[in-house]
Amino acid sequence: MDCINKIEIRLAEMRSSAQEFEKLIRKVEDLKIQIDVTNESRPRKAPKRLEDFIAHDVAPSGHDSNDLKTELKRVYICAIDSIVSSMKERFDQNDIKTVKDINRMLIACANNEVDVTTEYVIKHLGVAAKFVQVELLIDELKDLHVHVNLYNMELKLESMPVIKKVTAVSTIQGVLNTKPVSKASLPETHKLLILLSTYAMSSATAERTFSVMRRVKTWFRSRMCPGMLTNCMFAAIHKQRIDDVNAKKLTADFISRSSQRKDYFGQPH
């Protein structure tokens, strides 16, 4: 979640700042010099059948340098807008909105920027309210900034840089992991952080599963039964786990489970 927020902020900076575009242009020009690209356009000859109708045999350039730069800037802004639009479509789903709300709530409470009320907490928890004890969580969130301040005091004693402002949930996780007392004092907050860490950010996993199914169950395997399909997909998805399996040990275990198998396969070597 923190990574997505940073990308969104960076894209906004790139779009709003003219210096970012100029910096990109300079980088491209430097690369052009390094790879020795000339500005001369390739001469283009008119087709033979049009020789009588063409006044010149080389196509003229339709843009001067200023027009070209303007066009490049337009394409640059369109590309950024396209990325932002795709990110919104991908990461502004209802489930991810809940993750963002919980992130904002935890960060605001850690900085003591909000009045922690029942309505405020329930509004930001969303469906996650089913998995935590809301009343206990409210009391813990009221004291969350105190634990951050205590952690800062310990850092000062050790002459280490302190946390000026909490900007990411990972900072809160670090405080709880470093101070077992805080983790024990804030069990519901710790539970919420675990839920937040395990929340599915997108449908990529499900999409990959369908992609594997498309590769496994081809047109030539259209009559594959569901059990066989499940086993083949499991082997395809978890390749590393399958590679770690000791085939000889597995074979010996399979044969040893039945006298009929022993008679048929013989003793495993």
Residue 190 has what pLDDT?
A: 92
What is the dihedral angle through the alpha carbons of 244, 249, 251, 256, rounded to the nearest 10 degrees?
Answer: -150
Q: How far apart are CA 252 and CA 255, in angstroms?
A: 5
Residue 108 has what pLDDT?
A: 92
Candidates 172, 162, 182; CA nearest to 106 is: 172
Band of residue 38 on the pLDDT scale cut at 50, 70, 90: low
Residue 120 has what pLDDT?
A: 92
Average pLDDT over residues 214-233: 89
Per-residue CA distances from 221 to 134, 162, 238 (Å): 51, 61, 21
Is residue 235's pLDDT more than 50? yes
Q: How far apart are CA 23 and CA 144, in angstroms?
A: 42
Find the range with the poorest average confidence among 2-11, 188-197, 209-218: 2-11
Q: How far apart are CA 128 and CA 126, in angstroms?
A: 5
Is residue 138's pLDDT more than 90? yes
Q: What sign results for the dihedral spanned by CA atoms 207, 210, 211, 212?
A: positive
Q: Could you tell me if 157 and 109 are in contact, meaning their C-beta atoms sit under 8 angstroms apart?
A: no
Rounded to 5 degrees, what are φ and ψ at 45?
-100, 145
**Domain map (residue ranges) of the chain:** 94-198, 203-265
Residue 33 has what pLDDT?
A: 75
Give the chain's mean pLDDT.
81
Q: Which residue has the higher pLDDT, 39 or 155?
A: 155
64-92 residue pLDDT tens: 455 778 888 888 888 888 888 877 776 66
Q: For the chain, what is the HEC assignment? A: CHHHHHHHHHHHHHHHCHHHHHHHHHHHHHHHHHCCCCCCCCCCCCCHHHCCCCCCCCCCCCCCHHHHHHHHHHHHHHHHHHHHHHHHHHHCCHHHHHHHHHHHHHHHHHCCCCCCCHHHHHHHHHHHHHHCCHHHHHHHHHHHHHHHHHHHHHHHHCCCCCCCCCCCHHHHHHHHHHCHHHHHHCHHHHHHHHHHHHCCCCCHHHHHHHHHHHHHCCHHHCCCCHHHHHHHHHHHHCHHHHHCCCHHHHHHHHHHCCHHHHHHHCCCC
Residue 63 has what pLDDT?
A: 46
